[in-house]
Amino acid sequence: MVPMATAAHLSRPVSCGFITAKSRQLIPKHSVSCSASYQPSGKWKRDYTSVMIVPTGVGASIGGYAGDALPVARALSSVVDCLISHPNVLNAAMLYWPMPNALYVEGYALDRFAEGLWALQPVHQNKVGLVLDAGIEEELRIRHLQVADAARASLGLPVSEYIVTDTPLEVEKWIDPKSGQSTGRIKHPGSLLRAVETLVSKSKVDAVAVMGRFPDDDVGDSNDYRKGMGIDDIAGVEAIISHLVVKEFQIPCAHAPALSPLPLSTSLCPKSAAEEIGFTFLPCVLAGLSNAPQYLVNKAAVPVNGCIWADDVDSIILPRDACGGDGALAFARRRKRPLIIVVEENETVLNDTPDKLRIKAVTVSNYWEAIGVIAAHKAGVNPNALRRNRVKNIKRTMVLPANGHTVSGVA
């Protein structure tokens, strides 16, 4: 069985400059630059990279529903050169938004990236395979295959082949009574791994979309979520499924649940509405995986150019009470620590604040302020200089000579 874990989770692109015939040989075949920041002075700066995290299944006020953090990602991507985020932020069921400078990184891979163990290699296109749970009823399976064909024909997405698992996965989900987080398990993880192995070895896919048959709830059980309250009770086990695949195969993966349509509701919250406009969550997953970066695990094999490492991250942004995930802690502990920005307005069921964890962070009220801080940081401006009376007198550092006694002045 998959370990019953909650899902409260998650160097440099091709350098800017003129590409000569000699330098072109150093650039990996599939590498792309996230952006190029040209300054009026004629000088080049390296790309500014930001990571946006909204943990999955923790009832985030923004990003805890049906892609309702996507507007934040869109705004942030217009300010930074390269945005790294994960499916919980970028997926919105039938809806998605292409951002050329955004990298779609699965949560487990994002944690390994933050720890400096994996690098991200941007690509032009991935060959995507589709895994369907054998527990999906025939009519529902056909419907989702039609969605995949629509994505291939109307969007030109490179979805190549599909496979049905040899055994129903039997997905189970629940809310952890202690933490309040969404979690769960699949009873037959081996069936999922065998299916992915076949797609990887025989079909040579670069990324995998998984569709598990989730249990249908009574309408009353989902009313709070549909009204924009409570926890997304399927999100936790969705993350567990993708974590399992990424950990085993080190390729991009995302999950789209197969569910029976719910009856019409006249009191639907806008931030939950993306899941109500169709019977599938597959389009955003296929769009995200089609150009998700590849994960490079072996440092010795990583080319000099074209890859992004944790040390290339300039800032991260996340909810103020959700700083205890592996990725956030790894960034906070790095010697070259990025600017950490925490948002008070985006509340979750967690209580992992910077103060409790002794993390140095800039606290802002909302994402409006957060994006302003990032804009200042990217410009090389101390964000405090934009606030009233936030810049204090410069401090003096005392000199310690070899004898260990402090010297008050230097001749």
| Residue 139 resides in a domain | yes
Report the C-alpha gap between 118 and 131 in whole angstroms: 25
| Residue 221 resides in a domain | yes
| Residue 405 resides in a domain | no
| Residue 323 resides in a domain | no
Read off the tokens for 229.
């309250």
Kindly tell me if the per-residue pLDDT of 96 is higher than 60: yes
Distances (CA, A) of 356 to 180, 324, 338, 359, 361: 19, 10, 19, 8, 12
Picking from 246, 250, 260, the residue whose alpha carbon sits closest to that of residue 217 is 260
Of residues 26 and 231, the one with the higher pLDDT is 231
Structural domain of residue 75, as residue ranges?
49-296
Q: pLDDT above 90 covers what percent of the chain?
A: 68
Mean pLDDT of the chain: 86
Q: Number of structural domains, the chain?
A: 1
What pLDDT does residue 255 have? 96
| Residue 40 resides in a domain | no
Read off the tokens for 99.
């951002």
376-380, long-range: CB < 8 A, 24+ apart:
377/48, 377/314, 377/315, 377/339, 378/48, 378/79, 378/80, 378/314
| Residue 13 resides in a domain | no
pLDDT class for 402, splitting at 50, 70, 90? Answer: low
Per-residue pLDDT, averaged over 310-314, amounts to 96
**What are the tens digits of pLDDT across the range 240-282?**
999 999 999 999 999 999 988 777 877 788 888 888 887 789 9
Give the global pTM: 0.84
| Residue 175 resides in a domain | yes
What pLDDT does residue 8 have? 41
Which residues pair with residue 340 across a beta bridge? Answer: 316
| Residue 205 resides in a domain | yes
Kindly tell me if the per-residue pLDDT of 29 is higher than 60: no
What pLDDT does residue 272 have? 85
Report the C-alpha gap between 103 and 11 in whole angstroms: 13
